[in-house]
């Protein structure tokens, strides 16, 4: 959404974006059937995928915690994540919560695997993991994550304590670059409004998080 806004602001053609559940920002007219068809045809370049649990091999759990099927905590389910994870070339995992209960050593249930066995045809898979504290890259040949940058206000020791799986990192990891004023204005304006159309509760929480430090500063 940000890339589209930046491109259009510069007078260029931006990427085509579909937000599942959105009325304004979903160009599919036949629900998930069109999405899966386009993905299978190689017409989806990137996909953002979240998970209740994510482990160090990029396995995703969207079913629940504990021993299946007697899961004490139940989540919405895997839906088409297993299929999309296999065919979309650039899957970006995301989880706002960065804690050992979300980023675990091993997921309780594999909704979709991060890597496949040799001989399994797979054109897609994870390339990165973005959380509220850091950005990781994923190498399927290891397989495993590498810390690419730490968001301002956090440090390596905190990231290690908050992550349930092992990951590679530099001795002094880079800091995530903060957005410039133009980008920040787009994020807090146009992009915020587009997100709020589909996820009003999440957007409202983001707005409160933004305004809270501003009120303290005043």
Q: What is the CATH number of the domain that holds 16?
A: 3.40.1080.10
Q: Which pLDDT value is given to residue 213?
A: 61
Closest CA to 182 of 2, 15, 1: 2
Is residue 87 helix, strand or coil? helix
What angle (nearest 5°) sits at the alpha carbon of residue 58, between those of residues 55 and 64? 55
Sheet with strand 53-55: strands edge to edge: 60-61, 53-55, 103-104
Query: Please, what is the Cα angle at 112 between 53 and 176, to 5 degrees?
Result: 55
CA-CA distance, 124 to 46, in Å (whole number)? 9
**C-alpha span between 214 and 207 (Å, rounded):** 11
Domain around 118: 2-217
pLDDT in tens, the chain (218 residues): 899 999 998 999 989 888 877 888 888 887 788 889 999 999 999 999 999 999 999 999 999 999 998 889 999 889 889 999 999 999 999 999 999 999 999 999 999 999 999 999 999 999 999 999 999 999 999 999 999 999 999 999 999 999 999 999 999 999 999 999 999 999 999 999 999 999 999 899 988 988 876 554 44
How many separate domains does the chain show?
Answer: 1
User: Is residue 27 reached through a cis peptide bond, with omega within 30 degrees of 0 on the bond before it?
Assistant: no
- CB-based contact 49:128 (threshold 8 Å): no
Dihedral sign (CA 94, 99, 104, 109) = negative
pLDDT of res. 88 = 96
């Amino acid at each position: 959404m940000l890339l589209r806004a930046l491109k259009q602001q510069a007078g260029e053609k931006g990427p085509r974006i579909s937000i599942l559940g959105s009325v304004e920002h979903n160009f599919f007219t036949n629900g998930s059937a069109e999405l899966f068809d386009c993905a299978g045809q190689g017409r989806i370049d990137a996909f953002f995928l979240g998970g209740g649990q994510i482990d160090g091999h990029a396995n995703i759990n969207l079913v629940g915690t504990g021993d299946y099927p007697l899961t004490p905590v139940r989540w919405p389910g895997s839906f088409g994540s297993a299929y999309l994870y296999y065919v979309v070339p650039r899957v970006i995992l995301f989880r706002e919560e960065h804690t050992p209960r979300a980023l675990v050593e091993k997921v309780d249930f594999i909704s979709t695997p991060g890597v496949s066995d040799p001989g399994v045809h797979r054109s897609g898979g994870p390339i990165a993991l973005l959380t509220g504290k850091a950005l990781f890259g994923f190498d399927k040949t290891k397989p495993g994550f590498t810390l690419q940058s730490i968001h301002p206000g956090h440090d390596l020791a905190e990231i290690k304590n908050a992550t349930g799986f092992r990951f590679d990192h530099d001795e002094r990891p880079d800091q995530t670059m903060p957005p410039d004023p133009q980008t920040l204005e787009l994020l807090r304006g146009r992009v915020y409004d587009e997100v709020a159309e589909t996820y009003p509760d999440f957007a409202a929480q983001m707005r409160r998080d933004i305004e809270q430090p501003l009120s303290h500063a005043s």
